[in-house]
Amino acid sequence: MLLSVVILAPLVIVTAFFSLEVLVGLRPLRSPARAEARDVSAVIVIPAHDEEAVIEATARAALAEASGETGLLVVADNCTDRTADLARSAGARVLVRDDPLHRGKGFALAAAREQLRSDPPDVVIVLDADCRLDSQSLRALVACARRTGRPCQAINLLAPDLKAGPLVQISSVAFMVKNLIRQRALQRIADRAHLTGTAMALPWPVFETANLGGANIVEDLALGLELADRAAPAMLVEGATVWSPAASASGTLTQRRRWEGGFVSTMLKTAPAALARSVRRGDRRGLCAALDLCIPPLALLFVLNAAALLLAGLGVLAGGAAWPIFMQIAVGIVAAIAVVLAWVREGRRFASAATLLRLPFYVLWKLPMYVGLARRGAPKDWLRSGR
């Protein structure tokens, strides 16, 4: 029995907290009174590596949505294509960076910081090269960052495409659960949110002193955790949404390998200490944030629960007690219901009901990726999904 409890207890706790987050996050956050970002200078920074396919359209769209007080800086980072030329033709200010030994979004942002230091804006908005941010969302981000002095994160979603393959649709639902539902819950119960790397607005005093991640392949997550430790946790802005196109199945897998591998690596390094620190201090919000960090990606959570259930079942066959298994099954059922409710509330635009029934195939699709991550670890390079 002890072995079953040791195997199942951590997963039961994490899965139960995941269920709680999903249920709490079904209801939208209360938006603050709408405030205009008047007399606030801002710069949109777009780190771009070989993005000639999308950078011109993104730059033109960003400038069209920006107010007169908002500029645009594209960092063409170690590019071998026409990214810099196309960004200039769209009207953007361009910084060309050529340092193959130091590649990565964090390095690109650090270069932008040095470029802006002589005449710093009030707020810096980081935007990925394939994303779209409308004027209302942009104003909401800038106003929130200026008002609170905290990093502010837009809701980061993939553009719905019900004609895409089922694996891409399910991946878009999982993305929505992580970046909308669970972000809402974390903001509500812990007064913080994760930075997701795009459409995040940082007040200049925060951006100026932040550790921007360098070569960390999940530099956005690392930055958010570092800022939270400095008493400047990010907050979710319900009134701002950023959209990026869903990639192909192969491109989606490439991006998930980067993100999920980096996330798990960061989780293993930071979550145990965060849990211990919050328990020692009696910090309820910190404990919730640490538990959130312990939740693996949705498919991996399913795989881990299935594997633990199998091992515990073998323990029962060897004479152990069965009640820990029944507890895990009960928690798993609640988690499944919570995911279905999230789909009903927010996810039907991303995937049809028939597609959602293929979730087991989505898990099987990602199994080789998890095996590769277990054998080789997280990717070390700045990867992006296929366009």
Domains of the chain: 1-40+166-198+240-387 (no CATH), 43-165+199-239 (3.90.550.10)
Average pLDDT for residues 247-260, to the nearest whole number? 68
By DSSP bridging, strand 93-97 and strand 70-77 are parallel
**pLDDT at site 271:** 85
**pLDDT at site 128:** 94
Count of Cβ atoms closer than 10 Å to residue 50 Cβ: 16
From CA 367, how far away is CA 271, in angstroms rounded?
24
Each residue of 191-208: pLDDT tens digit? 999 999 899 999 999 999
Q: Is a pLDDT exceeding 60 seen at residue 74?
A: yes
Q: Is a pLDDT exceeding 50 seen at residue 332?
A: yes
From CA 227, how far away is CA 153, in angstroms rounded?
13
Q: Of 262, 133, 256, 246, whose CA–CA distance to 200 is shortest? A: 133
Q: Is a pLDDT exceeding 70 seen at residue 23?
A: yes
Split at pLDDT 50, 70, 90, the class of 368 is confident
Out of 67-76, 264-273, 336-345, least confident range: 264-273
Q: What percent of the chain has pLDDT over 70?
A: 87
**pLDDT at site 217:** 45
Give the distance from CA 92 to its chain's centroid: 26
Q: Which of 25-39, 81-95, 275-289, 354-368 has the highest mean pLDDT?
A: 81-95
Contact present, 42 and 121 (Cβ < 8 Å): yes
Split at pLDDT 50, 70, 90, the class of 314 is confident
What one-character-per-residue DSSP string does 247-306 give?
Answer: --HHHHHHHHHHHHHHHHHHHHHHHHHHHHHHHHHT-HHHHHHHHHHHPPPHHHHHHHHH
Q: Where does the chain show beta strands of DSSP type E?
A: 42-48, 70-77, 93-97, 123-126, 132-133, 152-158, 200-203, 235-244
Q: What percent of the chain has pLDDT over 90?
A: 55
Out of 38-42, 302-306, 364-368, least confident range: 364-368
Each residue of 40-66: pLDDT tens digit? 999 999 999 999 999 999 999 999 999
Q: Is a pLDDT exceeding 70 seen at residue 253?
A: no
What residues contact 98, with CB distance under 8 A and at least 6 apart? 78
Average pLDDT for residues 299-325, to the nearest whole number? 81
Diameter over CA atoms, the chain: 72
Q: Tell if the pTM clears 0.85, that is, is over it.
A: yes
Three-class DSSP category at 120: coil
From CA 347, how far away is CA 162, in angstroms rounded?
11
